[in-house]
Amino acid sequence: MKIRIGSRGSDLALAQSRWVAAQLEALPQKPTVEIEIIKTRGDVNLDRPLASFAGEPDAKGLFTKELEQALLEGRIDLAIHSFKDLPTENPAGLTLACTPPREDPEDILLFRKSSRGRDHLPFVSAGSRIGTSSIRRQELVRHHWPDIKITDIRGNVPTRLARLFDSDPDRRVEALLLAAAGMKRLRAAGAFADALWSDRLAELEVHPLEAAVFPPAPAQGALALQCRADDGVLIECLMGLHSDPDFARVQSERHVLRVLEGGCHVPLGCHCVPSVRESFSIHVFHARSGKVRRLFTRHAHTAEALGKAVGQELLGQLPIIVTGKSERVAEIRALAPERVIACATIETEALPIPAEDLKNLADLLETNPILAAFSATGVRAFFELARQNVSIHESLSRVRWAVVGSRTEAALLDQLPRAPVAFRSPDGTAGGLAAVIQSQPDDPKVIALAAERTRPDFYTKLGPAIRLKLNLYRTKPIESLDKANLPPAALVILGSPSSVDGFQAHCQAAGRSLSEPQLLLCAIGPTTADYLRSLDLEPYAIAPEPDYEAFVRELSHKD
């Protein structure tokens, strides 16, 4: 069996093709392999920035079209592509037969040790020049390091590396952004074995850029082996090199690219990784209009569902259902009435306070306690109680306050404008608030202004410091909801375990299920996310802070 491989002629492309050839020759079929170099349009026009090709005919096949044409004409049997260069649609008659195990997908930052100007990324000094031809990398530099200048550099990897050592100060750059996979493959192939390159590489610092912060191009680090769709013998042979897990994750990333109808000219980064609980996470960076840049992470049980969901989100195709109390969801809907559906799922009712708790409260208020508030509803319920008890109301000037979030604090200051807020949760959770209270040196006496149903984190962490848990109100699901409020697919914002229960009742009344993949469940904070996971539901998105308005803006990708 003879296999004719078509390859681009760069050092990296040949290193990749020779690696594939060696893997093929080691298979049980023992094929003989030849490599034919084929120049693509992208290899010929090295003087043009990649961005300048955008919008031209065949721009998406800049590095692949000539290889695919050679396959269709029968001049080669197998084309080896860097998967990230491949258009998202196969030409008729061709198929992607194999994705070998993926190399490191991350980007790396390289600079000469003498260029280090600070002790944190990007390490080089403000005003330094970073070389890259990638539109995605350029936008990421602008997003993370606005004090850095960008120099457009094309050419093979050794040519780009040489710019770090150029004697002409107008051509020299202080740093480069490259794909880690390319450097690893070239080094493995001996491309830098001579004394000159050994000395030069010894002068460099190399820093991996974490994919969650600096998402790589879709499919970066992966190879795509393409052949004619009717070549069954070769396809069967290639299965010996195929990695199903890597292919699934790459396809998830490329689905986002496909939805955006882009190739290497789209400033998009995304990286799909296995996560906990047999699920997947995808880190995404997207820039548009040269001004708006988004960096976020999403989750799902399958890589395929994840890629499709992110694509729909970026296109703004999904309505956003906001759940919670009726007056609150109506406020939030006003932010984007064309996208947001207000879905009241819970209501609250005040609880009677036992006489013994009232006495304990009055006594504790004389001891300079900490009053911990977890919601605006709890704050308002407490002050309603205080107004009915003069001695309690008069004692509030002698307490310190602890609040879980900005809305809770705003509600407190509305009731008591000069309230001394001594403790704030760093992450918007009760557990985070407990940790802050624990860090103070004296022995705290804490009164918790709580709902009837609460998670144990706050109380477990503070233990005996909790002198009184005052159950001020009860949250309960609304049982009768308008079924018309539930579209076939949507982003669903859930702000509490009670909202989850309420929305679940809403779904059941409509003959639907929370587990439907087209309902993308978005949690306000880790408490709600953990509750969803306890129901074996993977939260699609988790708000970085407990702010409904900010979360709606993020999910709707509004400026």
Give the pLDDT confidence of 498-542 residue by residue, as tens digits. Answer: 899 999 988 988 889 999 999 999 999 888 999 999 999 999 999
Sign of CA dihedral 227, 228, 231, 232: positive
Helix axes 497-509, 526-534, angle to 10 degrees: 50
- CB neighbour list of residue 519: distance below 8 Å, 6 or more residues apart: 489, 490, 492, 507, 512
Spatial separation of the C-alpha atoms in residues 128 and 143, rounded to whole Å: 16
Q: Is residue 451 part of a domain?
A: yes
Sign of CA dihedral 92, 97, 102, 103: negative
Q: Is residue 87 part of a domain?
A: no
Q: How far is C-alpha 270 from the geometric centre of its chain's CA atoms?
A: 8
Q: Is residue 297 part of a domain?
A: no
On the question of pLDDT at 416 being above 90, the answer is yes
Spatial separation of the C-alpha atoms in residues 77 and 24, rounded to whole Å: 13
Is residue 427 domain-shared with residue 327, that is, in the same domain?
A: no
Sign of CA dihedral 259, 264, 269, 275: positive
When pLDDT is cut at 50, 70 and 90, the band that residue 62 belongs to is confident
Is residue 470 domain-shared with residue 378, that is, in the same domain?
A: yes
**Which is it for strands 32-37 and 129-131: parallel, antiparallel or unpaired?**
unpaired
Is residue 353 domain-shared with residue 473, that is, in the same domain?
A: yes
Q: Is residue 168 part of a domain?
A: yes
Is residue 440 domain-shared with residue 468, that is, in the same domain?
A: yes
Q: Is residue 335 part of a domain?
A: yes
Is residue 367 domain-shared with residue 473, that is, in the same domain?
A: yes
Is residue 330 domain-shared with residue 369, that is, in the same domain?
A: no
When pLDDT is cut at 50, 70 and 90, the band that residue 60 belongs to is low
Token pair of 186 as six digits: 């070239």
Is residue 380 domain-shared with residue 455, that is, in the same domain?
A: yes
Final residue before a domain boundary, out of 169, 193, 209: 209
Cis check: omega of the bond before 122, within 30 degrees of 0: yes
Q: Is residue 61 part of a domain?
A: no
Average pLDDT over residues 285-314: 89
The dihedral over CA atoms of 442, 443, 449, 455, expressed in degrees to the nearest 10, equals 110
Taking Cα atoms as reference points, which of 163, 165, 166, 167 lies closest to residue 153? Answer: 163
> Could you tell me the residue range of the domain that residue 139 belongs to?
107-209
Q: Is residue 56 part of a domain?
A: no
Reported as a single tens digit per residue, the pLDDT across 223-275 is 999 999 999 999 999 999 999 999 999 999 999 998 887 655 679 999 999 98
**Which is it for strands 268-274 and 280-288: parallel, antiparallel or unpaired?**
antiparallel
On the question of pLDDT at 497 being above 60, the answer is yes
Final residue before a domain boundary, out of 477, 503, 537: 477
How many other C-beta atoms lie within 10 A of the C-beta of residue 420?
Answer: 10
Own/partner pairs, 450-457, CB within 8 angstroms, 24+ separation: 450/374, 450/378, 451/348, 451/374, 451/375, 451/377, 451/378, 451/475, 452/351, 453/497, 453/498, 454/374, 454/430, 455/430, 455/497, 455/527, 457/429, 457/430, 457/431, 457/527
Is residue 434 domain-shared with residue 513, that is, in the same domain?
A: no
Sign of CA dihedral 340, 341, 342, 345: negative
Q: Say how many domains are in the chain.
A: 3
Is residue 341 domain-shared with residue 482, that is, in the same domain?
A: yes
Average pLDDT over residues 329-341: 91
For every residue of 436-468, DSSP letters joined together read: HHHTSSS---EEEEEESS--SHHHHHHGGGEEE
CATH number for the domain including 337? 3.40.50.10090
Is residue 430 domain-shared with residue 534, that is, in the same domain?
A: no
Q: Report the pLDDT value the prediction gives residue 290, as an integer from 0 to 100.
A: 64
Is residue 168 domain-shared with residue 203, that is, in the same domain?
A: yes
Own/partner pairs, 165-172, CB within 8 angstroms, 24+ separation: 165/112, 165/200, 172/129
Helix H or strand E encompassing 376? helix 376-387
On the question of pLDDT at 379 being above 70, the answer is yes
Q: Is residue 39 part of a domain?
A: no
Is residue 412 domain-shared with residue 513, that is, in the same domain?
A: no
Residue type (1 letter), 64 = T
Question: pTM score, two decimals?
Answer: 0.86
Terminal-to-terminal C-alpha distance of the chain: 57
On the question of pLDDT at 449 being above 90, the answer is yes
Taking Cα atoms as reference points, which of 244, 214, 252, 229 lies closest to residue 132? Answer: 214
Final residue before a domain boundary, out of 430, 456, 477: 477
Reported as a single tens digit per residue, the pLDDT across 381-393 is 999 999 998 888 8
Reported as a single tens digit per residue, the pLDDT across 92-138 is 999 999 999 999 999 999 999 999 999 999 999 999 999 999 999 99
Query: Catalytic site residues?
Result: 85
The secondary structure of residue 116, as a DSSP letter, is B
